[in-house]
Structure 1
Amino acid sequence: MSTRPAEEQSDGGDLTRGRHETQEERADRRWTELMQEIRVAQTGVQILFGFLLTVVFAPRFSDLSDTDRAIYVVTVSLGAAATGALIGPVSFHRIVAGRRIKPQTVVWASRLTFVGLVLLLATLTSALLLVLRVATDDGFVPWLVAGLVAWYLLCWYVLPLWVRRRYTSGD
């Protein structure tokens, strides 16, 4: 049994005193964590993007309205941009590796990942709009897509920001 007070005990380290790691150790840890996060997002965006690239070859594609084709072009473009942003940190690391700037690399890779997640959200929104428009003619499609986007926003941004604000001192 630990003799530390409850507020100091955490799976994430000592909350009152922080981790005892050098700037380089912290950068290494943050890089490893970031790469694990990117693996999840990359897999999803690459599967979605690969599927989107095949849609144009489907026989029914020629039957799409001009609006649906425009939504498709936007969706594929967003998917390509999301893929680029989420793969970007790997290339970034490879180009700057060995230059002793890992803390800065982690910051920039984190920014690329955040942009990639925003673009992934936009890609999913656009893809949902297209698929649901093709699947049904009902007027509830924009409402359904808006509800799903609200769900994504809650899960991806609102809840994490709320937890961050509630349990940290503003890091």
Structure 2
Amino acid sequence: MTKNDGAPGRDETPQQRADRLWSEMLQEVRVCQTGAQILFGFLIGVAFTPRFAALPGFDKNLYVATVVLGAVATGALIAPVALHRFLTGHGMKPELVHVASRLIAVGLITLALTIAAALLLLLRTATGSPAAAWGLSAACLFWFATSWLVLPQVMLRRIAARRAALSEHGDPGGGGRLPR
């Protein structure tokens, strides 16, 4: 295996790249997984409080949907660990990185939905204003979509445009400094 078959700008083999990406993903998952598990744990406890029985039907259904979303988020964020455990030693690290990346994306999306749904349930109860609860929860979900999905896409487009501009101006290798 030769060097420079990995990521551009790095002197690594594809296997080294897969190992590096796997380590980076594990660090990301540790942060998300802990938050998802704590939120899920608190959600489970809500059904056992005295006030839960007095919730209107819509709020009970919203609670059920929120708990299910929390379970899906937690499961998706834990799944890469299970995959790694069962597939270690089979020479599948690049494939494992690809599948785990997708699972983490599903986990992040369902975690955002869980947080927004939990916020909606909480604000409907705390404020007594369904309109305010929906508005604030929608704003929170919009923030997640903007910072977690849109911002990375904007950054990718900008860097691609900068690299294209550099290659058009006599730097075909893209080794020059990117303009600010």
| Alignment TM-score > 0.5, same fold | yes
Q: CA deviation at 1:59?
A: 1.0
Paired letter, 1:106: V
State which structure, 1 or 2, has the greater radius of gyration over its C-alpha atoms: 2
Tell me the distance in 2 between the aligned counterparts of 1:38 and 1:131.
26
Determine if the alignment matches structure 1 residue 143 to structure 2 residue 135: yes
CA RMSD of aligned residues (A): 1.3
Percentage identity across aligned positions?
51
Q: CA deviation at 1:140?
A: 1.8
Runs (5+) with no aligned partner, structure 1? 1-16
**Helix, strand or coil: the match of 1:126?**
helix
1:65 alignment partner in structure 2? 56
2:66 alignment partner in structure 1? 75
Q: Which residue of the other structure, out of 93, 97, 112, is the alignment partner of 1:102?
A: 93
Determine if the alignment matches structure 1 residue 44 to structure 2 residue 35: yes
Structure 2 length-normalised TM: 0.83
- Deviating runs (4+, > 3 A) in structure 1? none
Paired letter, 1:87: I
Tell me the distance in 2 between the aligned counterparts of 1:128 and 1:91.
30
Determine if the alignment matches structure 1 residue 155 to structure 2 residue 174: no
Q: Which residue of the other structure, out of 157, 167, 170, is the alignment partner of 2:159?
A: 167
Tell me the distance in 2 between the aligned counterparts of 1:122 and 1:140.
18
2:112 alignment partner in structure 1? 121
Tell me the distance in 2 between the aligned counterparts of 1:65 and 1:140.
17
Paired letter, 1:88: A
Structure 1 length-normalised TM: 0.87
**Helix, strand or coil: the match of 2:64?**
helix
Paired letter, 1:150: F
**Helix, strand or coil: the match of 2:99?**
helix
